[in-house]
A and B are shown apart, each in its own frame.
Chain A
């Protein structure tokens, strides 16, 4: 029951400001598609028979899923901490497990909602096929959960908005931009290709895209396993911190 209510509260929170939390990221993605799709069309061929704009769309969708899932848990928690209303949750008989899953589930919901809207809007402009929808769904779900858990971790550790912004700008943004949203890592020099392999976001984008085109840089099973492992590691860190009350209970 504590979980259900906390999840509901987190959902209401982002739905009440859906222009900012859903419509704005959809517009951003559409602009990316219009600009990069136009400029790079014909200059880049990644998969046989797939136009660049079509290649770009799944990457943009997944990027929106990840960024919004991260933003949801991290901004909600940091706002509650700064305004002090986190006290209402801390006073309640809610376990650290319920706390974790409620924030992550709401982040997944927002990530998927934004992702679905981005897909619905951008699909108008390009031809898309969905060869393996289950892989797409699995990567969207697990990717959103990982980003939501990362957001929660950042929210727990940060004490001020600028600390969270630093995490977002210096960790999350480079990881998403360098994850192969706009290119295939095969087009990179060998050194940068190797570096990309250390980026968990790369596997999420690559696996998600596999669901559309049936082609990927890495076998989707391997990618899903790595994303799953990253989620377990981040979730474990979150649960440890939540259990100890780190920066939440003095």
Chain B
């Protein structure tokens, strides 16, 4: 079975890049190939100029990967886990940064707690901390908010956005399309192992969902009208036409074009 085929992507330094697609599209496989967890039969991947096969040490130092599964080592505490991860990347005397990462992810109070005793959300935070402990310029987040409560989700995005603002390149896969729409400047959509769309989020919305904008109008007498708009400019004309028919407008709701529509169009 071919998990990926003919995928060509270039992600610029400092980008906030989204990788979307239905289950089984090949998102995690693609991430695994980049991270060296899976081997591609053909093709090449490089991270900041380092080939992931021939210069794997340099490539892996550039990468911080937050895996999708909530994995942890039950033998260790949070601090031990982070110190070990730091050591794997050859970073000694890294305690100051480890404390800072724990502070930003609200983990300081759990520093000496065994990984087993943490809630799912806390384990997710540790996974993120592990990915950041060696200060990688590129961070890959594979479904980081799956099963995460609203508060943590907000904290997490705030933190990731700050990392991005500090110059980190962020690559994100998510099932929550509104998250991708909100954060990603550019998006690749995968379907059955192939890239079916690759463009800026704004262009994708304009190209695939823009024509579908609808306005729902509720009149004072209770009647409902649905207006199909090819652009926002049309709204004024269509509302004027309704008023001319004697309709008094009580409420107006606009369906913004969203990524979900683009997604459904491209992948279904």
Partner-B contacts on A (CB < 8 A): 1-2, 4-6, 8-9, 12-13, 16-17, 80, 83-85, 87-95, 245, 249-250
Contacts of B57 in A (CB 8 A): 93, 95
> Quick check: is B198 within 8 A (CB to CB) of the other chain?
no
- The verdict on A249 contacting B60 (CB below 8 Å), with A16-B75, A92-B88 known, is no
Contacts of B76 in A (CB 8 A): 12
> Quick check: is B222 within 8 A (CB to CB) of the other chain?
no
Shortest distance from the beta carbon of A10 to any chain B beta carbon, whole Å? 10
Return the chain A residue nearest B35 by Cβ.
Answer: A91
A93 touches B71 (CB 8 A): no
Most-contacted residue by chain B among A80, A87, A92, A250 (CB, 10 A): A92
Shortest distance from the beta carbon of A12 to any chain B beta carbon, whole Å? 7
CA of A8 to CA of B80, assembled, Å:
11
B37 touches A250 (CB 8 A): yes
B61 touches A93 (CB 8 A): yes
Shortest distance from the beta carbon of B240 to any chain A beta carbon, whole Å? 60
Return the chain B residue nearest A2 by Cβ.
Answer: B88
Partner of B36, one of A8, A13, A90: A90
Main DSSP-derived SS at the A contact region: helix
Partner-A contacts on B (CB < 8 A): 32, 35-39, 56-58, 60-61, 63, 65, 67, 69, 71-76, 80, 84-85, 87-92, 130
B65 touches A5 (CB 8 A): no
B39 touches A250 (CB 8 A): yes
Closest 6 CB pairs of A and B: A5-B87, A92-B88, A93-B57, A84-B71, A1-B90, A93-B60
Contacts of A89 in B (CB 8 A): 88
- The verdict on A85 contacting B87 (CB below 8 Å), with A93-B56, A95-B57, A250-B38 known, is no
Shortest distance from the beta carbon of B209 to any chain A beta carbon, whole Å? 36
Contacts of B39 in A (CB 8 A): 245, 249-250
20 additional A-B residue pairs with CB within 8 Å, beyond A88-B73, A91-B36:
A1-B92, A2-B87, A2-B88, A2-B89, A6-B88, A8-B84, A8-B87, A9-B84, A13-B75, A16-B75, A17-B75, A84-B69, A90-B37, A91-B35, A91-B60, A93-B58, A94-B88, A249-B37, A249-B39, A250-B39
CA of A4 to CA of B89, assembled, Å:
11
A93 touches B37 (CB 8 A): no
CA of A92 to CA of B60, assembled, Å:
6
CA of A83 to CA of B123, assembled, Å:
14
- The verdict on A249 contacting B38 (CB below 8 Å), with A1-B90, A1-B92 known, is yes
Shortest distance from the beta carbon of B239 to any chain A beta carbon, whole Å? 55
CA of A80 to CA of B74, assembled, Å:
10
Some 27 contacts from A to B, beta carbons below 8 A apart, are: A1-B87, A1-B92, A2-B87, A2-B89, A5-B84, A9-B84, A12-B80, A83-B71, A83-B72, A84-B69, A85-B73, A87-B37, A88-B71, A88-B73, A88-B85, A88-B88, A90-B36, A91-B37, A91-B65, A92-B60, A93-B60, A93-B88, A95-B57, A249-B37, A249-B38, A249-B39, A250-B37
CA of A84 to CA of B72, assembled, Å:
8
CA of A94 to CA of B85, assembled, Å:
11
Contacts of B92 in A (CB 8 A): 1
CA of A177 to CA of B74, assembled, Å:
33
Shortest distance from the beta carbon of A179 to any chain B beta carbon, whole Å? 32
B71 touches A85 (CB 8 A): yes
CA of A90 to CA of B67, assembled, Å:
12
B88 touches A5 (CB 8 A): yes
Shortest distance from the beta carbon of B80 to any chain A beta carbon, whole Å? 7
Most-contacted residue by chain B among A17, A84, A85, A91 (CB, 10 A): A91
Partner of B72, one of A13, A85, A91, A245: A85
